[in-house]
């Protein structure tokens, strides 16, 4: 069994251990100076119901980091199991909105259609998180629909099958 120990330089072992935790997959969008911008994230979580706060954590090494760090308004889209191509699209490039079903929301924030859930947010706080930032957003609006989520585990996409 690969192991990570504090003080070691084995970041790969830590990454592999973290990869054993299944997460949902989201695309975060904002209106940037160069136009609509998106990024795939699996670091989305609820922080508080009152006030309504959520967080996500973009990597500082991302070419899109500065735009998302500066964004006051953004949307987090929880993807369905059928939207793996959308996750892959925004994992590679941020301006890939051509041919997508989307509309501009408040402040021009791109709102993707057909997602499992969508959270329209305003930046509340940003915290240092090592090689990532922790961006906390106040939820201004949340919508949902029925469906199966896209899941990420061990570097691979998959689905979710509930127990009977």
Residue 138 lies in a domain: yes
Write the DSSP string, the chain. -----TT---HHHHHHHHTTS-EE-EEEEEEETTEEEEEEES--EEEEETTEEEEE--BTTSTTHHHHHH-SEEEEEEPBGGGHHHHHHHHH-S---TT--EEE-GGG-EEESS-SEEEEEEEEEEEEETTEEEEEEEEEEEEE---PBPEEETTEEE------
Q: What are the pLDDT digits (tens) for 71-130?
A: 999 999 999 999 999 999 999 887 778 899 999 999 899 999 999 999 999 999 999 999
pLDDT (0 to 100) of residue 160: 86
**How many domains in the chain?**
1
| pLDDT band of 163, cuts 50, 70, 90 | confident
| Domain boundaries, position 115 | 21-148
Residue 11 lies in a domain: no
Q: What are the pLDDT digits (tens) for 7-45?
A: 555 677 777 887 788 889 999 999 998 899 999 998 999
pLDDT (0 to 100) of residue 3: 56
Q: What are the pLDDT digits (tens) for 47-74?
A: 999 999 999 999 999 999 999 999 999 9
């Amino acid at each position: 069994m690969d192991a990570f120990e504090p003080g070691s330089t084995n970041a790969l072992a830590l990454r592999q251990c973290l990869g054993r935790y299944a997460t949902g997959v989201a695309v975060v969008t904002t209106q940037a100076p160069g136009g609509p911008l998106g990024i795939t994230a699996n670091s989305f979580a609820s922080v508080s119901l009152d006030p309504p706060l959520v967080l996500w954590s973009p990597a500082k090494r991302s070419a899109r980091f500065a735009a998302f760090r500066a964004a006051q308004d953004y949307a987090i889209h929880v993807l369905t199991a059928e939207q793996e191509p959308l996750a892959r699209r925004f994992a590679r490039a941020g301006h890939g909105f051509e041919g997508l079903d989307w509309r501009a929301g408040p402040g021009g924030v791109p709102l993707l259609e057909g997602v499992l859930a969508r959270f329209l947010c305003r930046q509340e706080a940003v915290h240092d998180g090592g090689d990532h930032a922790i961006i906390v957003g106040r939820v201004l609006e949340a919508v949902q629909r029925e469906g199966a989520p896209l899941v990420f585990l061990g570097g691979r996409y998959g689905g979710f099958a509930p127990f009977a």
